């Protein structure tokens, strides 16, 4: 009886999960195979080694958080810029997709401090994201204001991982919604 192969995407997703949980050093073939309930032999049917897995993890993350997000936001085009910013805020808040989680991004940012390939991917992602946001904000405010709103939006996204914006009377998510509302005013 033939056994179904573990999909390549499962290896990449589990690698990203390991990265988010413990940094790049936590991305190891044997523990990932154990989590998937398979032997590490299946890994080598897809990847030449750990370095290829790491490269594909970066590529998957880059595509999902740039082209993937933009495609979702721009779907059913015809939305005005403020609505596309609202759609963007929703598109990046998908906690069950490892590529969209802030802990994954934080781990990639830490990895990029030590690795040239990760740093290059991160630089491209940052450039594409900020250019896209500036363009959206630039449709309803000055270039200077678009720069400031872009900086605030990106900062809130990353800072929300490190601190709880909530306080008595308002949950963290409510405060983030207030920030989005202010960015759109």
Verdict on whether the full-model pTM lies above 0.75: yes
Sign of CA dihedral 146, 181, 85, 176: positive
* Residue 51 tokens, joined: 């370095």
Q: Can you give the pLDDT at residue 4?
A: 52
Phi, then psi, of 91 in degrees rounded to 5:
-65, -30
Domains of the chain and CATH, by start: 54-184 (1.10.357)
For the chain, first and last CA: distance in Å? 62
State how far the Cα of 88 lies from the Cα of 74, in Å rounded to an integer: 9
* Residue 88 tokens, joined: 């963007």
Query: Is there a contact between 32 and 14 (Cβ–Cβ < 8 Å)?
Result: yes
3-state secondary structure of 132: helix
* Residue 159 tokens, joined: 């800072």
* Residue 53 tokens, joined: 């897995």
Q: Can you give the pLDDT at residue 82?
A: 93
Q: Can you give the pLDDT at residue 25?
A: 97
Q: Which residue has the tokens 């008595």?
A: 168
What count of residues does the chain have?
Answer: 185
Nearest CA-CA partner of 91 in 79, 138, 21, 147: 79
Render each residue's pLDDT in the chain as its tens digit; 185 residues: 344 578 999 999 999 999 999 999 999 999 999 999 998 888 998 999 999 999 999 999 999 999 999 999 999 767 899 999 999 988 998 889 999 999 999 999 999 999 999 999 999 999 999 999 999 999 999 999 999 999 999 999 888 888 888 788 888 888 888 888 888 88
* Residue 107 tokens, joined: 């781990």
DSSP state of 117: H
Q: Can you give the pLDDT at residue 165?
A: 81
């Amino acid at each position: 009886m033939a056994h179904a192969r573990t999909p390549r995407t499962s290896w990449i997703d589990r690698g990203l999960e390991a990265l988010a949980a413990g940094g790049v050093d936590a991305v190891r073939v044997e523990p990932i195979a154990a989590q998937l309930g398979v032997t590490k032999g299946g890994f080598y049917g897809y990847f030449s080694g750990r370095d290829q897995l790491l490269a594909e993890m970066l590529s998957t993350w880059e595509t999902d958080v740039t082209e993937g997000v933009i495609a979702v936001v721009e779907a059913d085009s015809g939305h005005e810029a403020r609505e596309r910013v609202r759609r963007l805020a929703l598109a990046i808040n998908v906690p069950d997709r490892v590529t969209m989680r802030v802990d994954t991004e934080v781990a990639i940012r830490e990895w990029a401090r030590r690795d040239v390939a990760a740093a290059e991917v991160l630089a491209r992602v940052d450039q594409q994201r900020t250019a896209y946001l500036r363009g959206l904000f630039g449709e309803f405010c000055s270039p200077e204001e678009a720069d400031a709103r872009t900086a605030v939006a990106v900062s809130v996204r990353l800072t929300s991982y490190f601190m709880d914006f909530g306080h008595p009377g308002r949950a963290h998510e409510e405060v983030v919604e207030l920030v989005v509302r202010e960015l759109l005013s």
